[in-house]
Chains A and B, each alone.
Chain A
């Protein structure tokens, strides 16, 4: 099992540009989570999906952020337009339906730098 796969690993973009982060969850997992980590705020849950449907997006900071899960094996987190304060490491995690017993599996993250 390759685990949760995120791409790209690093992204540097200019302010105002659109950024798309990608995530492939573990096959068979039906929950997918997007987290953001910064020094100031630590790990924050942005949004999570169950069976490809967004369940809770209360952590999405503002309308510039959007997330989709078109199928069980792919999710995107888009920032448009990007701002320097969006610079962070973005993690995707997935979990099986009973996965709260066994925890999430996190990907390696995408380090985003907006200049």
Chain B
């Protein structure tokens, strides 16, 4: 599975959009990009995933560049409850194993 690179930490003002980048320059054609988050003391929570098209659900939007070498998770109106560690994971369709990196610690500020 391709490796990912994320900034270790970010701050975002409450009510503003949080844009979390992820670099996955070695991604291959059948690998998906997944995003999870982990709020303190809880288990990781699935957010969204995509292959090459942009995706949106009730939690977030995922923008994948045309060359698929990077992506951005967008939380459109961040709240204090969005403070968490966000993990970007690349995983092939034929495997069921997620390899979690160190993620981005997002702090939403009041």
Contacts and interface: CB of A to CB of B under 8 A. Distances in A.
Interface of A: 4, 31, 33, 42-43, 45, 48, 50, 55-56, 91, 93, 95, 100-109
A100 B31 CA distance: 11
Contact of A108 (B32, B43, B46, B102): B43
Given A100-B91, A100-B93, A103-B34, A43 B100 contact: yes
The 9 closest A-B pairs by CB, nearest first: A103-B46, A106-B43, A43-B100, A91-B43, A106-B44, A109-B43, A107-B43, A45-B97, A108-B43
B98 A45 contact: yes
Interface of B: 32, 34, 36, 41-46, 49, 91, 93, 95-102
18 contacts: A4-B43, A33-B96, A42-B100, A42-B101, A45-B97, A45-B99, A50-B96, A55-B96, A91-B44, A100-B32, A100-B95, A100-B96, A103-B46, A103-B49, A104-B44, A106-B42, A106-B43, A106-B44
